[in-house]
A and B are shown apart, each in its own frame.
Chain A
Amino acid sequence: MKKLLSIIALAALSFNAAAHGPSPQKVEKTVVIKAAPAKVWAVVKDFGNIHAWHPAIASTKLEKKGEETFRTLTLKDGGTIYEKLRTADDADMKLRYEIVDGVAPVADYNAFMQVTAGPGAGESTVTWVGRFYRTYKLNPPIPAGQDDETAVKFVTGVYDSGLANLKKVIENSK
């Protein structure tokens, strides 16, 4: 994960407004946390505090631009990711956001995190789902580092390490 982020920061891939690829990719991960859904949701919805539980993120800067909310994630390995909050729905305990710019090797990334009750009493399930494209925007051959595999591997790493530590942080905070 650490090495991957460094490579990505070096490559300094940037987003532009041109067409993304034709095949969206998906990563879907879940974790069960021994804590009440309301408690887990309070942590998940705190858009400006993801560094409190995500091990790859050093700091978060929250910004309001009119009605819209953005955050800048500074990664521990260097580089930043700029994200926009779409919605934080208390009724559904669902947070939707998108990547606007940054070092992540993905294009047109949007994602949600949702908290549901169960499976056991006093437990919560957190689901994290992302939809995105590779960064390469031309016909094959697709260069290494800009392909679907790189994009999927990056997002998988972010979700796996994030959810594992989210569980740890919440369960240890009792």
Chain B
Amino acid sequence: MKNFVLLLALSLSLSACQHPQMAYITNQGDNTVSVIDTAKRKVTHTIGVGKAPVGVAVSATLRRVYITNVEGQSISVIDSHQQTVIHTIKVAGSPVGLALSPDSKMLYVADWYSDRILAIDTSDYNSKKEVIAGKAPAGLVVSNDNKTLYVAARDSNQIVVIDTSTLAIKQRIHVGVHPFGVSLSQSGQQLYSVNVYDNTVSIIDLNNTDKPPYTIKVGEHPYCAVTNAIDTKLYVTNTQDDSISVIDLPTKKVIATIGVGMTPEGLSFNQKLNQLWVANWGTNNVSVIDATTNKVVSTIKTGDKSRAFGLFMMP
């Protein structure tokens, strides 16, 4: 047993060496995904996907990356070791946001114009269920305990709370105007809704969802938010200010604004490197920010119109 554990530890560390940590950035304009080695800050692969890729979700368990091609009406499935597309799932609609359940068994997809959420079994892509959630669903996220799916219904100004076992709608939480990105704290206790038209973030206490959300003003046309590893900071992309708002979560105040590339959209936090990674749609690149100093330490050229809507950092 002891030997087995040692062997296992060895093979795990070996596999960690063989497969450096990668970021997957969707490029809407040239229908590709840029794969970036996060330690080297270099694009190692450029993968052709469907038309106008937007959303991204990664699974270390399955070694898969899922990409929504909104104008191509499909989802590309990438093998994260081979860095190639191994499957394309047809979606009769306009898939935008997507998220995996924590156990990677279910893939949830937001279909923009049809107001529906698709639940796709990752072991059988033909097994799809759906629910009509709210107008223009965009970002979505699954609770840490796998039981609840939260969907930003953009044109309903709501976060729709869905029971993952039945796909029944349990609650509708009113947030700011036009919520787009939605994310969870690491603890799973707080939900953040980024509201594009009124330049706010709504903080929802998941232990008491009947309480009205706490609202914080950020920059112009914010899109997405993500916390750091220890839930002390929340970072928000302000698409029309070309900046990131840094919110101190204990005091719920904006404490810094960091200039990045033009029209920043998706962002993810790299826990190992303590860095914030931001995809800039307007300048076709990624800004890497040191989370200790709040300074941009690197700018990496990607493809045309980088969006990376979702958690794009392979853990």
Contacts and interface: CB of A to CB of B under 8 A. Distances in A.
For the residues of A in contact with B, the DSSP-based class is loop
A19 interface: yes
B172 interface: no
Nearest to A110: B240
A22 B263 contact: no
B70 A22 contact: yes
10 contacts: A19-B112, A22-B54, A22-B71, A23-B71, A24-B281, A26-B29, A26-B305, A129-B282, A131-B263, A131-B282
Interface residues of B, number: 24
Q: Which 3 A-B pairs have the closest CB atoms?
A: A19-B136, A22-B70, A23-B52
Nearest to B262: A129
For the residues of B in contact with A, the DSSP-based class is loop
A23 B54 contact: yes
B246 to A, nearest CB: 22
Contacts of A129: 262, 282
Interface residues of A, number: 14
A139 interface: yes
Given A18-B155, A22-B71, 10 more contacts: A19-B112, A19-B113, A22-B52, A22-B70, A23-B52, A23-B54, A23-B71, A24-B305, A26-B305, A138-B113
Interface of B: 28-29, 52, 54, 70-71, 73, 92-94, 96, 112-114, 135-136, 154-155, 240, 262-263, 281-282, 305
B94 A19 contact: no
Interface string A110-143: 1000000000000000000101000001111000
Contacts of B135: 19
Interface in A16-74: 18-19, 22-24, 26
A172 B118 CA distance: 60
B114 A139 contact: yes
B145 to A, nearest CB: 30
Nearest to B73: A140
A50 to B, nearest CB: 21
B44 to A, nearest CB: 26
A22 B307 CA distance: 11
Nearest to A24: B281
B196 to A, nearest CB: 10
A53 to B, nearest CB: 25
Contacts of B263: 131
Contacts of A23: 28, 52, 54, 70-71
Nearest to B136: A19
A129 B94 CA distance: 26
Interface in A92-109: 96
Contacts of B71: 22-23, 140
